[in-house]
């Protein structure tokens, strides 16, 4: 219904006019971290990939993760599981003031308490609402897919890993250019 509403209320654009806007990372305030998460479904293999990128207030990658799960999840379950893995990874890394960001508006809104999710992901969302209590401060934020490219690349990369691979205090070579491209220059606050 939401898609139908958006299409019905979309303003027509003149020919040749592009409405594409660049979406870039807005680093968090100093002392806080941003954790971007994404998931990819490998349907033929009945597996999913999860990508997590943790950045500091200047946009530097302090940790990253690429994980493969042998589960036949659908897209929404994969996005919810990616958020769960991202929250646990942030706890493991030791950051305590965090904004978690993903490209599933449904999952982000449910975690912010402004909407419900389908039954098949309610357990994951419920578990997350308890897990985040281990942080000093936390927030959930939604970004468009274009603003989540490094996490998406890591989720895709998971197809080629045994179980998971993590990078601490360095940026994985496969996302260096994507990370360099997507930071908003001279932006230090959300």
**What digits encode the pLDDT tens for the residues 159-179?**
999 999 999 998 888 889 888
Q: Please give the DSSP secondary-structure letter assigned to residue 136.
A: S
Alpha carbon distance 41, 88 (integer Å): 20
Q: Is residue 21 part of a domain?
A: no
**Residue-wise pLDDT tens digits, 17-55:** 434 455 566 778 889 999 999 999 999 999 999 999 999
State which residues form the domain around 132: 26-179
114-to-82, 110, 125, 134, 140 alpha-carbon distances in Å: 20, 6, 13, 21, 11
Q: Is residue 190 part of a domain?
A: no
**Residue-wise pLDDT tens digits, 58-68:** 889 999 999 99
Q: Is residue 136 part of a domain?
A: yes
Kind plus residue range of the DSSP H or E element containing 137: strand 137-142
User: Of 56, 36, 51, 46, nearest to 143 (Cα)?
Assistant: 36
Q: Is residue 31 part of a domain?
A: yes
Q: Is residue 140 part of a domain?
A: yes
Q: Is residue 2 part of a domain?
A: no
Length of the chain: 190
For residue 112, what is the domain's CATH number?
3.30.420.10
| Predicted local confidence at residue 190, as pLDDT | 45
Q: Read off the pTM.
A: 0.83
**pLDDT(183) > 70:** no
**pLDDT(6) > 60:** no
pLDDT-based confidence at residue 135 (cuts at 50, 70, 90):
very high
Q: What dihedral do alpha carbons 130, 134, 136, 139 form, nearest 10°? A: -40
Domain total in the chain? 1
Q: Is residue 47 part of a domain?
A: yes
| Predicted local confidence at residue 152, as pLDDT | 96
Sequence-distant (≥ 6) Cβ neighbours of residue 25 within 8 angstroms: 34, 36, 55, 59, 147, 182, 183, 184
Q: Is residue 81 part of a domain?
A: yes
């Amino acid at each position: 219904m939401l898609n139908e509403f958006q299409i019905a209320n979309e303003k027509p654009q003149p020919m040749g006019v592009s409405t594409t806007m660049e979406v870039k990372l807005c680093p968090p305030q100093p002392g806080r971290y941003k954790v971007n998460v994404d998931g990819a479904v490998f349907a033929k293999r009945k597996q999913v990939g999860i990508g997590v990128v943790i950045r500091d207030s200047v946009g530097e990658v302090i940790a990253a993760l690429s994980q493969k799960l042998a589960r036949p999840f659908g897209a929404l379950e994969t996005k919810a599981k990616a958020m769960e893995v991202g929250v646990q990874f942030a706890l493991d890394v030791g950051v305590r003031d965090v904004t978690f960001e993903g490209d599933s508006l449904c999952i982000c809104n449910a975690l912010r308490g402004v909407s419900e999710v389908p039954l098949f992901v309610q357990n994951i969302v419920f578990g997350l609402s308890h897990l985040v209590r281990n942080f000093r401060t936390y927030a959930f934020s939604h970004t468009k897919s274009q603003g989540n490219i490094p996490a998406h690349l890591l989720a895709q990369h998971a197809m080629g890993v045994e179980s998971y691979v993590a990078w601490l205090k360095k940026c994985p070579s496969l996302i260096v250019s994507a990370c360099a491209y997507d930071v908003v220059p001279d932006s230090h606050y959300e």
